[in-house]
A and B are shown apart, each in its own frame.
Chain A
Amino acid sequence: MKILGFLLLLAGWGLVLAALILLGAAGPRAAFVLAGVGVEIVGLVLVILAHLVPRGEYG
């Protein structure tokens, strides 16, 4: 889950870069940048879940 999360983080950033490079109109570009940020948020959630401390581990 951790690796998937980090891959989604990178994929989201790639989407943002692709939106900048490939899209010229302001509206679609902004939408795709925000979509990229959304993908990053999903990735961040997965990374966070992967790092939750198992109960009793550090007690």
Chain B
Amino acid sequence: MTPAAAPLPAFAGSLSVLCVIFVFLVPFAGAGLALINAGLGRSRSAAHSMMSSLCVLAVAALVYFTCGFSWQGFSGGPAHIFTLGGKDFNWIAAEPFFLRHLDFNGSPAPLAALLGMLSVGLAALIPLGSGADRWRLGACCISTAFFTAWTYPLFAHWVWGGGWLAQLGANYGLGQGFVDTGGASTIQAVGGLTALSLAWILGPRRGKYTHDGMPTAIPGHNSVLVLFGCALTLVGWWGLNAAGAILFNAATPGQTVLIAINTTLSAAAAALMSAAITRTRFGKPDASLTANGWIGGLAASSGACAFVAPAEAAAIGLAAGVLVTFSVEWFELRMSVDDPSGAISAHAMGGLWGVLSVGLFAEIPARILDATGETANRHPGQWLAQMVGIATLIGFVLPMTYGLNWLLNRVYPQRVSVEAERQGMDLYELGAGAYPEFITHGDEFTER
């Protein structure tokens, strides 16, 4: 166990306050995602969706406090390192459990812990959208515990905690190492790939596919919730991207304005692109796909928002809009993946594109690795560092998160019964619906 990588930079008082403010904005992203998940599901599962969101956030906070942060750690903190091919391979942090040894004095480490606690909750909300209308509340809490205790902290340590991906530049000369400003990989792609695993394990909702394999439309029950959720997520993403840039990428206060502008432009371009594509193809713009485009643009912005010009951020958003819109259809039609909220396309595909965009567009100041350098360059090996990160997400994180959820499913089946799907999750799992003015027939209520 040895100290890992370069330590987080000490903060001036004003930068610390600014970072705290940005971190406090992050829960808006969680609130927005919860509303989107509820709105894109069925009305008979709306209360269950919001209840699951609250439980997921609660489980994530407690498990991250218990052991998640100790395995994620922070750059410069203690870590388990072994030597491979003559290079240090920093694979997991070795912080004490229960956030012990953290000095709450305005230094960066406690802020990283707070941001991690909120980020892991946000990432754990992503699979809820894919498992809507059929994922048991208990199973979703246990799955979230696995995710928070192991999947997220491990990968977040590699990227944000001074792990081997962050050290690709120092060890192998690949640009500045794997760079992710606000969580395109750690939050969006990891959450999105977990959502894909769960969608595979749970299977599609009953009635989603006809006997000849064609999907049927099960529209979301409340577009207002969905679109209001989108507006909330923008505020949360400002906080997420800016706080991540300050804490993990040595961004200056002046850069936070650029980050907010880039985040907004990326989401705006992606949403308008989705609206234009659906208007062109179907005659009218589709609200749910436009919402997916918005979220995809936000997810993509998280990769490079601190290191690109506004025009490039808009271009990244436009590409995300195209990618997400066609990806939603592809997953549903070609892959038989029933993803009610489009979370896999918006978060996994958007996040992966955001990771790649760093290698294509970003001009990263050398001060991230070397405090003496201030020049910004497109580093020739940066795209390869980003590709290694993508390969790790698909080749390691996806099998790991699938395996964990598959094991859980063997021990504790994650999908509700046929009867529960017929009744709706609200009545079956909670005993009451989200909309009491709806008539509920007494004979449809059964004790669990």
Partner-B contacts on A (CB < 8 A): 6, 9-10, 12-14, 16, 20-22, 26, 29-30, 33-34, 36-37, 40, 43-44, 47-48, 51-53, 55-59
B209 pairs with A37, CB closer than 8 A: no
B336 pairs with A53, CB closer than 8 A: yes
Contact A34/B387 with A6-B399, A10-B396 known, Cβ cut-off 8 Å: yes
CA distance A28 to B409 in the complex (A): 42
CA distance A21 to B86 in the complex (A): 9
Residue B200 lies at the interface, judged by CB distance under 8 Å to chain A:
yes
Q: Mark B261-294, 1 if CB is under 8 A from A, else 0.
A: 0000000000000000000000000000000000
Contact A51/B391 with A10-B396, A58-B204, A59-B210 known, Cβ cut-off 8 Å: no
Residue B84 lies at the interface, judged by CB distance under 8 Å to chain A:
yes
Given A6, A13, A22, which contacts B391 in the complex, CB threshold below 8 Å? A13
- Please, which residues of chain A bring their CB within 8 A of the CB of B388? 16, 20, 33
CB closest residue in chain A, given B389: A16
Partner-A contacts on B (CB < 8 A): 84-85, 87, 168, 172-173, 200, 203-213, 335-337, 380-381, 384, 387-388, 390-392, 394-396, 398-399, 402-403
Q: For B84, B85, B168, which residue has the most chain A Cβ atoms within 10 angstroms? A: B85
Listed by A's residue number, 5 A-B pairs whose Cβ atoms lie within 8 Å are A13-B391, A16-B395, A55-B212, A57-B209, A59-B210
CA distance A14 to B211 in the complex (A): 40
CA distance A44 to B197 in the complex (A): 12
CB closest residue in chain A, given B212: A55
Question: Distance in Å from the Cβ of A27 to the closest Cβ of chain B?
Answer: 11
- Please, which residues of chain A bring their CB within 8 A of the CB of B204? 53, 58
Question: Distance in Å from the Cβ of A46 to the closest Cβ of chain B?
Answer: 12
Question: Distance in Å from the Cβ of B59 to the closest Cβ of chain A?
Answer: 27
B335 pairs with A48, CB closer than 8 A: yes
CA distance A55 to B212 in the complex (A): 5
A51 pairs with B211, CB closer than 8 A: no
B335 pairs with A40, CB closer than 8 A: no
CA distance A16 to B381 in the complex (A): 15
CB closest residue in chain A, given B336: A53
B395 pairs with A9, CB closer than 8 A: yes
Q: For B203, B337, B396, B402, which residue has the most chain A Cβ atoms within 10 angstroms? A: B396
Contact A33/B384 with A9-B395, A13-B396, A51-B335 known, Cβ cut-off 8 Å: yes
Known: A9-B399, A55-B212. 19 other contacts (CB 8 A): A6-B403, A9-B395, A9-B398, A20-B172, A26-B380, A26-B381, A33-B387, A37-B390, A37-B391, A40-B395, A43-B395, A47-B200, A51-B200, A53-B204, A55-B211, A56-B213, A58-B205, A58-B208, A59-B209
CB closest residue in chain A, given B203: A58
CA distance A53 to B172 in the complex (A): 43
Question: Distance in Å from the Cβ of A43 to the closest Cβ of chain B?
Answer: 8
- Please, which residues of chain A bring their CB within 8 A of the CB of B337? 51
Q: For A10, A12, A16, which residue has the most chain B Cβ atoms within 10 angstroms? A: A16
CA distance A36 to B394 in the complex (A): 11
Contact A10/B391 with A33-B384, A48-B335 known, Cβ cut-off 8 Å: no
CB closest residue in chain B, given A21: B85
- Please, which residues of chain B bring their CB within 8 A of the CB of A59? 207, 209-211
B392 pairs with A16, CB closer than 8 A: yes
Question: Distance in Å from the Cβ of B124 to the closest Cβ of chain A?
Answer: 22
B399 pairs with A10, CB closer than 8 A: yes
Given A13, A21, A34, A48, which contacts B395 in the complex, CB threshold below 8 Å? A13
CA distance A43 to B391 in the complex (A): 12
A21 pairs with B87, CB closer than 8 A: yes
Question: Distance in Å from the Cβ of B1 to the closest Cβ of chain A?
Answer: 22
A44 pairs with B396, CB closer than 8 A: no
Given B203, B335, B336, B395, which contacts A12 in the complex, CB threshold below 8 Å? B395
- Please, which residues of chain A bring their CB within 8 A of the CB of B205? 58
Q: What 4 A-B pairs are tightest by C-beta distance, nearest first?
A: A13-B395, A21-B85, A53-B336, A59-B211
- Please, which residues of chain B bring their CB within 8 A of the CB of A44? 394, 398
Q: For B205, B206, B209, B391, which residue has the most chain A Cβ atoms within 10 angstroms? A: B391
CB closest residue in chain B, given A22: B85
CA distance A6 to B209 in the complex (A): 26
B213 pairs with A53, CB closer than 8 A: yes
Question: Distance in Å from the Cβ of B157 to the closest Cβ of chain A?
Answer: 17
- Please, which residues of chain A bring their CB within 8 A of the CB of B384? 29-30, 33
A51 pairs with B336, CB closer than 8 A: yes
B203 pairs with A33, CB closer than 8 A: no
B84 pairs with A9, CB closer than 8 A: no
